[in-house]
Amino acid sequence: METQSAAARRPARPFIEVLAGKTLVPPPIWMMRQAGRYLPEYRQTRKEAGSFLDLCYNPDLAFEVTMQPIRRFGFDASILFSDILVVPHALGRDLRFEEGRGPLMTPIDASEVDAIDGDGFHDHLAPVYETVGRLRRELPPTTALIGFCGAPWTVATYMIAGHGTPDQAPGRLFAYRHADAMSRLLAKLADQSAEYLIRQISAGADAVQIFDSWSGVLDESSFEALCVAPVARMVKIVKAVHPNVPIIGFPKGAGSLYGSFRQKTAVDALGLDWTVPLSQAKHLQAGGAVQGNLDPMRLVAGGQALDQGVDAILEQLTGGPLVFNLGHGITPETPISHVERMIERVRRWRGN
């Protein structure tokens, strides 16, 4: 365990200070999917890797693509380059990525859930932990390192459908028709994902984020059972080992349920998607740090649309703990010059 004097000597990381509740002006900034196809250096490394999974599991290449946006833009936080589906892959499910189709898996049947076990789980993910350790050693001292995983519900939807769908109808039907099997699947995913986050933190991650990209397709009672309960279980497990490491929850599309999500899961910070009104975001900010929530299409558009979106967030939310980010991941067609413009606008902000 780190001593108090060692912690005092560690350089301040603005991103971590904000997650702890501090208000900084200008706020720290990073972007979801900041290592990605909009960068020419990423496209080159991706070609070198041969396949997307090979890129995720190769510590040298995963380190390289994680560092690329830090070298180019100097973000305040770096997020591990990986994928949410490495967890079911490490649990023995097949996984491949096809260009233009995304992830593909053999759909899991309700009768197969109990056969899932964690044998070899951490061995399979050892390259990821190696990447995390190297990143923490070589990142700038003031740059935070974020580990992550998918939330159990979102990961389960891909396992059940075998691919991405517009509204995750297969996962929702599975939950209604096989409620007990779904409960057991989510519990297994919650436990293994929490252990995965614990290992990332032990390897050097300063904070972790749980992505629930498909929480917005659920009705209120399903949201409680399929989104809130498994994430709360994860937070409890992680905090029992690393009580002082902040956890960001990102229940995309949660709308009016964002507040109850924070309260019931005990996450330290909320990632907000771009549909969350800034008046609601300001109210949520009273309970702790918020992250977001620029519409990624404003970043693609650039110009006045970008400037107005950035300014509105800064005007409304820099009175409390804010991490400036997008409301979802950056898209491949985003011009690099627009990213530079956004960063410059955020960093020169000094308030009204």
Domains of the chain, residue spans: 12-347
**Residue 7 pLDDT level (bands cut at 50, 70, 90):** very low
Confidence check: pLDDT of 229 > 70: yes
* CA distance linking residue 72 with residue 325, whole number of Å: 17
262 given a catalytic annotation: no
Query: CATH classification of 12-347 is 3.20.20.210, yes or no?
Result: yes
Residue 1 has pLDDT above 50, yes or no: no
Residue from 57, 76, 83, 129 carrying the catalytic annotation: 83
Is the pLDDT assigned to residue 2 strictly greater than 70? no
Q: What helix, strand, coil percent values describe the chain, rounded to 5?
A: 55, 10, 35
pLDDT of residue 98: 87
**Per-residue pLDDT at 5:** 45
Active site residue 196: no
Pick from 227, 120, 219, 216: nearest CA to 182: 227
Active-site choice (38, 42, 46, 298): 46
Q: Is 258 in contact with 280 (CB distance < 8 Å)?
A: yes
Query: Does the annotation count 33 as an active-site position?
Result: yes
Give the other-Cβ count within 10 Å of 198's Cβ. 21
Report pLDDT for 203: 98
Q: Where are the alpha helices (DSSP H) in the chain?
A: 4-9, 14-19, 40-49, 52-57, 59-73, 86-90, 121-124, 126-138, 152-161, 169-177, 179-203, 220-222, 229-241, 258-265, 278-285, 296-301, 303-317, 336-347
Average pLDDT, the chain: 95
Q: Which residue type is seen at 198? A: I
Q: What's the pLDDT tens digit per position in 110-128?
A: 999 999 998 999 999 999 9
Residues 192-208 pLDDT 10s: 999 999 999 999 999 99
| Amino acid at position 243, single letter | P
**Which residue in 13, 33, 172, 199 is the catalytic one?**
33
Instruction: Based on the residue annotation, tell me whether 83 is a catalytic residue of this protein.
Output: yes
Position with higher pLDDT, 100 vs 257: 257
Q: Which of 129, 158, 196, 258 is catalytic?
A: 158
With cut-offs at 50, 70 and 90, classify the pLDDT of residue 6.
very low
Say what percent of the chain tops pLDDT 90.
Answer: 93
